[in-house]
């Protein structure tokens, strides 16, 4: 990453296509929760609420590749001779 602000913004804009919604959406939601707690609920620590809500969400999918629809299709190579 370049050290200057404009260089960093250019690098982010250049690689914008590689943003994953599975990591970006929870991060944005956590930031919103923290800001709302800071503005409206001053006695509630927003980072703790965001941490608890982030831990309660379902996990992101591990792969984005093709889904194996026929489990027996790959067994032909595993059968003994």
Number of domains in the chain: 1
**Full domain range(s) for residue 36:** 20-59
Whether residue 35 is contained in a domain is answered as: yes
Whether residue 64 is contained in a domain is answered as: no
Whether residue 15 is contained in a domain is answered as: no
The pTM (predicted TM-score) of the whole model is: 0.53
Whether residue 69 is contained in a domain is answered as: no
Whether residue 67 is contained in a domain is answered as: no
Instruction: Find all residues with CB under 8 Å of 34, minimum gap 6, and list them.
Output: 46, 47, 49, 50
Whether residue 43 is contained in a domain is answered as: yes
Whether residue 46 is contained in a domain is answered as: yes
Tell me the pLDDT tens digit for each residue of 9-61: 888 888 888 888 877 888 898 899 899 988 988 888 888 888 888 877 776 66
Whether residue 81 is contained in a domain is answered as: no
């Amino acid at each position: 990453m370049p050290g200057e602000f404009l260089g960093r913004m250019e690098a982010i804009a250049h690689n914008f296509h590689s943003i994953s919604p599975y990591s970006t959406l929870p991060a944005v939601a956590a930031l919103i929760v923290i800001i709302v707690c800071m503005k409206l609920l001053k006695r509630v620590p927003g980072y703790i609420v965001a941490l608890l809500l982030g831990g309660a969400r379902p996990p992101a999918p591990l792969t984005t590749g093709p889904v194996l629809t026929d489990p027996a299709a790959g067994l032909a190579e595993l059968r003994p001779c």
